[in-house]
């Protein structure tokens, strides 16, 4: 290993990363909202990984009594096709979670690339990228998503995720760009440039670690968007109706007039699932806001001593 | 002091953080005569701005006054309810801050902000407001057309003067100033100081002037206080403190300034760094960095000893220490 | 002035982007899905309209792609949007005209109301940090703003309409009524609008409250707030005139940015309540593969958002003197 600049930078990066993760962990632990969000998320992850533990029935099997109410055998009742709703709900966790994480993650990656590049390049490139970002930001995502999905009717989840990423990256790109801009003129970056560091190295090793908390916050926001938008699309039938996810559950429930027919849990259970998952990401996001901006943290008052 | 306009007694301010509170101001006491110019100097973080805002009752969480009294014209302001406090604010004492760009509301015109202040204290006609605004503008030498300007439309020096003019609206008895010259260039700094001094002579208000720039304030102040780690290290007539500093910290501070036309001398700094206010060392807080520390210094805290016209918080100048050599 | 020109320029660029997306999409999808749609039109529609559709979707057209593009632009900008499959033989223009008022009334009014209320509550909440309002509302709204719009719509439909029969279960008005400008009709309209409006209000207000609250807290740390206190101004004046007026500025920009979200949610709300607005038409069009209608609605919705953003920009211009002098 050469003892040049690379050797020099390693310890600093490690320290930065360790410091950042250590601080992060401590900060999350100390924040009530973050803890709640994290616990809910953990529960969902467990359900997604091991659905068979909790739900014993095959979610697709249409063998039970139709439209039954909740009972000991069927916690949430059955659908009008005779399927166990609880099983569907548990098995549906996986797909909803995967869509949220993958779409959210990819959108964040895109945001980082475009936002930070725009800020770092500056000038004309920045102007073009910013305009591009702003246009995509302003165009209402859902109508666009609906149209794209309508044109590609039977694309399944891949198209769904692609469409979510295409419409979800712009908000983050804007935020990341403005933070990167403020960092751009900081001394440690000027020093890196003077050292002769190549652009991408500066971006990856100097700028990004400093922006970790904003990137994570962006991911959480993108995940919320993905959860809600995916559910919305599946609800109106633009997803893959044969897949097992909460959105498609809602679709079938609506198609069979579950609310009016007296098996409302068919619609309510997945709805609550979506709300809880989105809510968990949202809470974490809110907590991150507080962690990143100390001014927003709860304030203590104290008593005065006499004399 | 019988005719003191301000009597600060044992005022303490704590910053209530997650861990143990940090004491930014520790039992500070002093008095101020009408029309007197008191300068408070010290390093960043010594607590001088906190002290200033504590006196002006302008602290915000997590800072809180945790002890002492501030007796201004006979009333203890610390005990006053917000409503009573609001009545005397700006009328009897006013505030000048470091950056006018930050201290003025960016979305309102200068004139509108003046009007706000005046209307908050009395029923006053638009004409009277206009007249008084022009008067104070004239005092600091700004064209009255700028009453309709927004803060970002003025130059830095003009903004600062506009802020000072605002402080003069009610001809208060006391104006506290928190580093009003720090944001300006050297030439503008001096011009502003000269103007402040002239205004003081004309209108007779007292000034408490906080700054880290010792040389600047020592040309204009009557008395000088040197602050360290939340306490006054030395307090006395400016000329005396300047000519013969007593506290080793003061000595160190003055030594750090090069003289423009004197012979080339070795510039000494003060080794070490100011202490962590949440974990002060036992004994004299300056002892770890003091070139003249004795065994006594780490044992207990020195009092603010009176030496002729001055007060010094140093064992060397107390009854137990040697005599300042 | 430069500011105004820049915003108008952005408007035009975004509009152009929309039109181009509309043009490209059917051509990018494998096996141009519009072909199937066009087949259903054949023989039922007159010459010019058919031509316009062919140009828009690149089906059967003998022209080159480029001239198709310009043809499409010209048609759209002159209002020739084609014919709707769902509401055949009505033109898209006719369909849209009836839907636009419903959406403006419901979504437009509710969004502005949510913004105004949310900003006010957020301002007070941020002002009284740690007070009763502040400790109660923000956590509640963090959670409610994560609820999908259509879920809240479904729940309120279930509760207030199906179970308790307080409100009707859908549509803009009772089909048995005649459309007239009298109180009977208007009150019926309002009655039908309550649930959808409440849904939109409840789900969108959370975001406004939270951002305004956080903006307030950041603004309150500024020196000019301390100065305002020092001048002895009443707390009400400091909260409104000094803190509020500054804290709202970033919120206004945020309003424009998040209009996209609100519109999305509103579309689903219209769907759940069968409310005859633009969103409902859009989804109806999707079920019927009525691409001409869908395209135009997409365009219209985008234009509506752009106009709203432009309006917000002008409000910002009025409120923030720093934007007027761009030196």
What are the extents of the domains in chain A?
2-306
Give the nearest partner residue to A304 out of B21, B61, B66, using CB atoms. B66
Helical segments of chain B, H only: 48-55, 82-88, 100-103, 110-119, 126-140, 156-167, 186-203, 214-218, 238-243, 248-255
Q: Tell me if B209 is assigned to some domain.
A: yes
Q: Which two tokens stand for residue A101?
A: 């994480």
Helix (H/G/I), strand (E/B), else coil: A243: coil
| pLDDT 10s digits, C235-280 | 999 999 999 999 998 888 778 777 777 887 888 888 888 888 888 8
Residue A150: list chain C partners with CB under 8 A: 286, 289, 291, 294
The total domain count for chain B is: 1
Q: Specify the CATH class of C101-288 in words.
A: mainly alpha
Dihedral of CA C253/C254/C255/C258: which sign? positive
Q: Tell me if B44 is assigned to some domain.
A: yes
Give how far C226 is from chain B: nearest CA, Å. Answer: 7
pLDDT computed for residue B138 by the predictor? 92
What span, in angstroms and rounded, lies between the C-alpha atoms of C258 and C208?
Answer: 10
Give the nearest partner residue to A305 out of B61, B62, B67, using CB atoms. B67
pLDDT computed for residue B137 by the predictor? 94
User: Which one-letter DSSP state was computed for residue B142?
Assistant: -
Q: Are B199 and B222 in contact (CB under 8 A)?
A: no
Residue A304: list chain B partners with CB under 8 A: 64-67
Closest CA relative to residue A149, chosen from C239, C282, C136, C306: C282
The per-type count for chain B, helices as H runs and strands as E runs, is 10, 12
Cα nearest neighbour of C213 on chain A: A296
Question: CB under 8 Å to B8, separation ≥6 — which residues?
Answer: B28, B29, B30, B31, B32, B55, B68, B69, B70, B71
Give the nearest partner residue to C150 out of A143, A171, A235, using CB atoms. A235
Q: Are strands B63-72 and B75-76 parallel, antiparallel or unpaired?
A: antiparallel
| pLDDT 10s digits, A221-236 | 899 888 888 888 888 8
Torsion angles phi and psi, residue B220, rounded to 5 = -120, -20
Q: Whole-angstrom distance between the N-terminal and C-terminal Cα of chain A?
A: 65
Q: What is the pTM of this model?
A: 0.78
Q: Which two tokens stand for residue B234?
A: 């030395």
Give the nearest partner residue to C142 out of A138, A148, A286, using CB atoms. A286
| Interface subset of C 28-47, CB within 8 angstroms of A | 29, 33
User: Which one-letter DSSP state was computed for residue B289?
Assistant: G
Torsion angles phi and psi, residue B94, rounded to 5 = -135, 175
Which secondary-structure segment (H or E) carries A109? helix A85-121
Q: Are B102 and C222 in contact (CB under 8 A)?
A: yes
Question: CB under 8 Å to B318, separation ≥6 — which residues?
Answer: B302, B303, B305
Q: Which two tokens stand for residue B279?
A: 């974990």
Residue A151: list chain C partners with CB under 8 A: 25-26, 29, 33, 291
In chain A, the DSSP E strands lie at: none
Asked if the Cβ–Cβ distance from A305 to B62 is below 8 Å, we say no
Q: Are C305 and C104 in contact (CB under 8 A)?
A: no
Among A29-38, A239-248, B45-54, the least confident range: A29-38
Whether C131 contacts chain B with CB within 8 A: no
What span, in angstroms and rounded, lies between the C-alpha atoms of A123 and A130?
Answer: 11
Q: Whole-angstrom distance between the N-terminal and C-terminal Cα of chain B?
A: 30
Q: Tell me if B122 is assigned to some domain.
A: no
Dihedral of CA A238/A240/A241/A244: which sign? negative
- For residue A29, pLDDT over 50 is answered with yes
Whether B60 contacts chain C with CB within 8 A: yes
Q: Which two tokens stand for residue C311?
A: 């309006």
Longest dimension (CA), chain C: 79
Residues of B contacting chain A (CB within 8 angstroms):
10, 12, 14, 16, 21, 61-62, 64-68
Which stretches in chain C have pLDDT values below 50? 327
| Interface subset of A 288-307, CB within 8 angstroms of B | 299-302, 304-307
CATH code for the domain defined by A2-306: 1.10.3720.10
Q: Give the residue from B10, B11, B13, B16 with the most A CB atoms within 10 Å of its CB, the best one to mutate.
A: B16
Question: CB under 8 Å to A13, separation ≥6 — which residues?
Answer: A205, A209
* Per-residue pLDDT of chain B in tens (325 residues, 90 and over written 9): 568 899 999 999 999 877 788 889 999 999 999 999 999 998 888 889 999 999 999 998 888 999 999 999 989 999 999 899 999 999 999 999 988 889 999 999 999 999 999 999 989 999 999 999 999 999 999 999 999 999 999 988 899 999 999 999 999 999 999 998 888 888 888 888 999 999 999 999 999 999 988 888 888 999 999 999 889 999 999 999 888 888 888 888 877 766 666 677 666 677 777 777 777 777 888 888 888 888 888 888 888 888 888 888 888 887 766 554 4
Asked if the Cβ–Cβ distance from C223 to B97 is below 8 Å, we say yes
pLDDT computed for residue A297 by the predictor? 63
Torsion angles phi and psi, residue B310, rounded to 5 = -115, 165
pLDDT computed for residue A260 by the predictor? 67
The single residue listed with the structure tokens 């005859």 is C276
Report residue A15's pLDDT band, with 50, 70 and 90 as the boundaries: very low
Q: Are C75 and C55 in contact (CB under 8 A)?
A: yes
Q: How far is CA A167 from CA A172, A230, B49, C14, C258, in A?
A: 11, 12, 49, 15, 13
What span, in angstroms and rounded, lies between the C-alpha atoms of B66 and C83?
Answer: 76
ipTM of model: 0.85
Give the nearest partner residue to A259 out of C129, C142, C158, using CB atoms. C158
User: CA B284 from chain center: how many Å?
Assistant: 23
Asked if the Cβ–Cβ distance from B14 to A302 is below 8 Å, we say yes
The single residue listed with the structure tokens 């009545």 is B87
* Residue B18: domain span: 6-92+170-317
Report residue A122's pLDDT band, with 50, 70 and 90 as the boundaries: confident
Region A245-261 average pLDDT:
79
Region A42-67 average pLDDT:
77
Whether C216 contacts chain A with CB within 8 A: no
What span, in angstroms and rounded, lies between the C-alpha atoms of C226 and C210?
Answer: 23
Q: Which two tokens stand for residue B161?
A: 């003067």
Give the nearest partner residue to C146 out of A143, A235, A278, using CB atoms. A278
- Percent of chain A past pLDDT 90, that is, above it, reads 4
Asked if the Cβ–Cβ distance from B116 to C325 is below 8 Å, we say no
Q: What share of chain A is helix, strand, coil (3-state, %, to 5)?
A: 75, 0, 25
Asked if the Cβ–Cβ distance from A302 to B65 is below 8 Å, we say no
Give the nearest partner residue to A138 out of C138, C291, C309, using CB atoms. C309
The single residue listed with the structure tokens 């009524």 is C177
Q: Tell me if B304 is assigned to some domain.
A: yes
What span, in angstroms and rounded, lies between the C-alpha atoms of A176 and A114?
Answer: 9
Cα nearest neighbour of A227 on chain C: C148
pLDDT computed for residue A2 by the predictor? 34
Burial of A26 (0-12, 13-18, 19+ CB in 10 A): exposed
**B192: domain CATH number?**
3.40.50.300
- Percent of chain A past pLDDT 70, that is, above it, reads 81
Whether C155 contacts chain A with CB within 8 A: yes
Q: Tell me if B281 is assigned to some domain.
A: yes
């Amino acid at each position: 290993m050469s003892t040049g600049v690379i050797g020099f930078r390693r310890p600093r990066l490690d320290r930065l990363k360790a410091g950042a993760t250590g601080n992060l962990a401590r900060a999350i632990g100390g924040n009530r909202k973050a803890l709640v969000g994290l616990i809910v998320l953990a529960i969902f992850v467990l359900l997604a990984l091991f659905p068979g533990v909790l739900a014993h029935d095959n979610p697709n099997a249409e063998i039970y009594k139709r439209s039954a109410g909740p009972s000991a055998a069927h916690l949430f009742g059955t659908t009008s096709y005779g399927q166990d709703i609880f099983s569907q709900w548990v098995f549906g966790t996986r797909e909803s979670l995967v869509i949220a994480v993958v779409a959210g993650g990819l959108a964040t990656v895109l945001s980082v690339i475009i936002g930070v590049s725009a800020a770092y390049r500056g000038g004309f490139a920045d102007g073009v990228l910013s305009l591009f970002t702003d246009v995509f930001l302003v165009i209402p995502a859902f109508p666009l998503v609906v149209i794209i999905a309508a044109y590609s009717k039977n694309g399944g989840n891949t198209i769904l995720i692609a469409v979510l990423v295409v419409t979800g990256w712009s908000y983050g790109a804007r935020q990341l760009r403005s933070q990167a801009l403020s960092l751009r003129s900081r001394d440690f970056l000027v020093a890196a440039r003077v050292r002769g560091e190549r652009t991408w190295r500066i971006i990856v090793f100097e700028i990004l670690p400093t922006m970790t908390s904003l990137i994570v916050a962006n991911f959480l926001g993108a995940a919320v968007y993905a959860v809600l938008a995916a559910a919305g699309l599946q609800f109106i039938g633009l997803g893959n109706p044969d897949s097992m996810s909460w959105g498609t559950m809602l679709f079938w429930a609506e198609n069979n007039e579950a609310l009016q027919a007296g098996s409302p849990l068919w619609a309510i259970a997945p709805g609550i699932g979506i709300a809880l998952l989105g809510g968990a990401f949202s809470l974490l996001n809110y907590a991150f806001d507080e962690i990143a901006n100390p001014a927003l943290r709860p304030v203590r008052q104290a008593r005065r001593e006499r004399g | 002091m019988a005719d003191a306009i301000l009597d600060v007694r044992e005022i303490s301010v704590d910053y209530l953080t997650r861990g143990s509170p940090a004491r930014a101001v520790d039992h500070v006491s002093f008095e101020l005569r009408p029309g007197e110019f008191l300068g408070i100097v010290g390093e960043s973080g010594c607590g001088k701005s906190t002290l200033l805002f504590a006196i002006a009752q302008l602290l915000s969480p997590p800072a809180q006054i945790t002890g002492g009294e501030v007796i201004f014209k006979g009333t203890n302001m610390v005990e006053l309810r917000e409503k009573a406090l609001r009545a005397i604010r700006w009328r009897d004492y006013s505030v000048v801050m470091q950056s006018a760009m930050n201290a003025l509301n960016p979305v309102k015109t200068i004139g509108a902000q003046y009007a706000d202040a005046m209307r908050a204290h009395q029923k006053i006609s638009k004409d009277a407001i206009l007249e008084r605004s022009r008067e104070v503008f004239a005092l600091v030498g700004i064209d009255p057309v700028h009453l309709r300007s927004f803060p970002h439309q003025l130059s830095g020096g003009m903004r600062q003067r506009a802020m000072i003019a605002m402080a003069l609206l009610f001809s208060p008895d006391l104006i506290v100033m928190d580093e009003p010259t720090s944001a300006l260039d050297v030439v503008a700094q001096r011009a502003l100081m000269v103007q402040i001094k002239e205004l003081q002579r004309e209108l007779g208000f007292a000034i408490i002037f906080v700054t880290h720039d010792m040389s600047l304030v020592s040309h204009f102040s009557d008395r000088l206080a040197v602050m360290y780690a939340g306490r006054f290290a030395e307090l006395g007539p400016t000329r005396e403190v300047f000519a013969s500093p007593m506290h080793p910290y003061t000595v160190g501070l003055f030594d750090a300034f090069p003289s423009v036309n004197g012979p080339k001398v070795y510039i000494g700094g003060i080794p070490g760094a100011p202490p962590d206010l949440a974990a002060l060392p036992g004994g004299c807080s300056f002892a770890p960095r003091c070139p003249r520390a004795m065994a006594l210094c780490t044992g207990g805290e020195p009092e603010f000893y009176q030496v002729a016209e001055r007060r010094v918080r140093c064992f060397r100048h107390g009854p137990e220490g040697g005599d300042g050599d | 002035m430069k500011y105004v020109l820049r915003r108008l320029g952005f408007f035009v660029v975004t509009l152009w982007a929309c039109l181009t997306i509309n043009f490209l999409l059917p051509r990018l999808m494998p096996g141009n899905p519009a072909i199937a749609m066009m087949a259903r039109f054949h023989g039922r529609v007159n010459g010019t309209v058919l031509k316009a559709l062919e140009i828009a979707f690149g089906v059967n057209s003998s022209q080159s792609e480029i001239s198709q593009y310009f043809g499409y632009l010209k048609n759209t900008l002159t209002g020739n949007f084609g014919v709707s499959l769902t509401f055949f033989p009505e033109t898209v223009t006719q369909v849209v005209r009836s839907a636009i008022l419903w959406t403006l009334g419901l979504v437009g009014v509710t969004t502005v109301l949510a913004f105004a209320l949310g900003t006010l509550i957020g301002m007070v909440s941020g002002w009284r940090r740690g007070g009763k309002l502040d400790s109660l509302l923000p956590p509640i709204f963090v959670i409610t703003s994560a609820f999908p719009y259509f879920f809240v719509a479904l729940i309120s439909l279930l509760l207030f309409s199906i179970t308790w029969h307080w409100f009707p279960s859908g549509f803009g008005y009772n089909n048995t009524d005649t459309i007239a400008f009298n109180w009977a009709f208007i009150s019926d309209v309002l009655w039908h609008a309550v649930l959808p409006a409440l849904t939109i209000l409840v789900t969108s207000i959370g975001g406004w409250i939270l951002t305004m609250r956080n903006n307030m807290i950041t603004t309150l740390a500024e020196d000019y707030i301390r100065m305002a206190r020092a001048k002895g101004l009443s707390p009400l004046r400091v909260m409104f005139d000094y803190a509020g007026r500054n804290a709202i500025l970033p919120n206004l920009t945020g309003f424009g940015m998040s209009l996209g979200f609100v519109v999305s949610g509103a579309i689903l709300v219209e769907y759940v309540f069968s409310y005859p607005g633009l969103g409902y038409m859009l989804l109806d069009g999707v079920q019927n593969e009525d691409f001409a209608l869908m395209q135009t609605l997409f365009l219209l919705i985008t234009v509506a958002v752009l106009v709203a953003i432009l309006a917000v920009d002008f409000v910002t211009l009025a409120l923030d003197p720093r934007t007027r002098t761009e030196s």
